[in-house]
Structure 1
Amino acid sequence: MRSFGVVLFLVFTQIIRGERGEGFYKSPEFLGSIKNITVAAGRDASLSCFIKNSKGYKVAWVRVSTQTILTMNHHVITRNHRIHVSQPEAAEWKLDIKDVRPRDAGFYMCQVNTEPMRSKLGYLEVVEPPGIVDGETSRDQIVSEGDSIILACKAKGHPVPQISWRREDGMPVIAGTGSGEYIGPVIQLTSVRRDDMGAYLCIAQNGVPPAVSRRIILQVKYPPKVDLSLTSVRGRAGEAMVLTCVASGFPEPVTSWVHSGKTIQSDGRYEIATELSSSHVTTRLIIDPLEMTDNFDRYTCVAKNSLGNTEDYVTIQVSAKVAYDSGIRRDNNDYASNQKPKLDIWEVKKDEFNKYTSVNSMDIHKQQNQQERQQEII
């Protein structure tokens, strides 16, 4: 390849010499260096070469890595349709590369056929946002409690992406480290616990947006566990009672309630409500109404999965319903009143109808006052 490049440059030099002519033009001179550029893959790139007094000379752009002549003056030599050349100003020779690809990165040389040949180099850096490599990245995993597991994440891009790990629930990636983030392409979890179960996020970033991530679900198989929180509850006859049981386990446990050796169904005064979440099952038994016969009865919460079953019970205590009356308590034939009692004084008179009439105490007091006044006048 090196000998081919030497021959190529010699041929190029001889062609240029044969077409330039002698003694008619001033010697070309480069006006500064070629600026290195950085372009994201998929964008367009331009390299500019400034040469004074290039008229009458041949100016060429050459790909250094392959020693390929891309353009000569205003002509494109390569068959790459993404390559273009232009001369916006008398001293500027511009190489345009459309839809830049990672393989386009490297040195480009601007040459002019002086004796000896003069040239300048410019570097094109092509950056590429990170991308997850599927074949080298872990998929969702299911392991048994106590096993060991390796989670791997591979990303491509330029510059080389940095890999970091986080848990979706915010817990430490590796138990006991206290850190919510782990740097590196591989996580090794030894003696996996049920607390390690969850979603792990592999995040790849290299400063070129956008960053990418892959979500890997780790599921840990373990037998079910139930939590009733209370071993005894109290209620009143005629009222409703709700018993709550939280069951965890993987595979997801199936729950039920048992009373007097029989599985309870949602019927009559019983109703069962179940809620599912990513980590547990909550089941509630609603008893409405409570009866005195329920006193000191046991209600058992049962959870089962393919790895086993477990249960726990709660005892309920039922007291009689207490009646509350407001106001004054009286005999059975009386009634309660919140009003203050009114005192009446009764005077018995025999009238023309031989009946009894009531006289209000205020009227009697008024009559006595009138009689006293009459006696004073007399």
Structure 2
Amino acid sequence: MVTSEVSRWKRNKKEVGTHYLFNLVYIFTIVECNWRSEVSYKFYWNESLDKMLECIGVSWIRHRDIHLLTVGRYTYTSDQRFEAVHSPHAEDWMLRIKYPQRKDSGIYECQISTTPPIGHQIFLKIVEPKSEIHGGPELFVDNGSTINLTCIVEFAAEIPTTVQWSHENKPINFDSPRGGISLVTIKGPTTSSRLLIQKASPSDSGIYACDSFVATPAVIRVHILNGEHPAAMHHGHASIPLCPPIVSALIVPLTLIFKNH
């Protein structure tokens, strides 16, 4: 009876996939989690299968150090961030990780204690909240054209409620007499915020930053060009010689040796 029930589980199992924020996407066996993480594996149960699993046990094992983390609803680790979660007659046998850290990345296995054991492995990848402005770290814009800055925020534990832009450490005033400044923000698991500044002038040059308050702010330096080439904006960089001085000094003697032979 155990064999037939386990076979039914194997036919009905689904692979755990990428975990973005608050939902699970079932593709492959790679799991990406943010800093507020929960890893779970779903069993499709019926009453007899649920009773069987309660009796023989479902375990979570961490492969990095071959550590038994949970068995059934009980936790077997001193790390209080790990917790076994299962409700009677529920289809989830979960391993919950609170305040996940980079070191928690790796392979975890959900295992049924049969003989031989039956298990399924998943790869957990802990990712940090990230914000980035496209085109950085420097952007060159012609005088009189439009400055187009797009900030992307992803892997955050929660969707940002706002994205604030600043120029030279001062919040951008969209109602200033200058005019021509607009902002379009689309919120979601990946949030994008686009800042448009029309008719750019030298006063618009400098450092711009976008802050979502859920990730480290992203910055970019904008240069306004008045007909000059972007390369001309970089000062103080001496040209690198084709051969370092020591190597150049060795070339002549070696050349003479080869000529003498």
Q: What is the TM-score with the length of structure 1 in the denominator?
A: 0.31
* The structure with more helix, counted as a fraction of residues: 2
Q: Look at both structures and tell me which one has the larger radius of gyration over its CA atoms.
A: 1
User: Which protein has greater RCO, CA pairs closer than 8 Å, 6+ apart?
Assistant: 2
Larger proportion of strand = 1
TM-score, length basis structure 2: 0.43
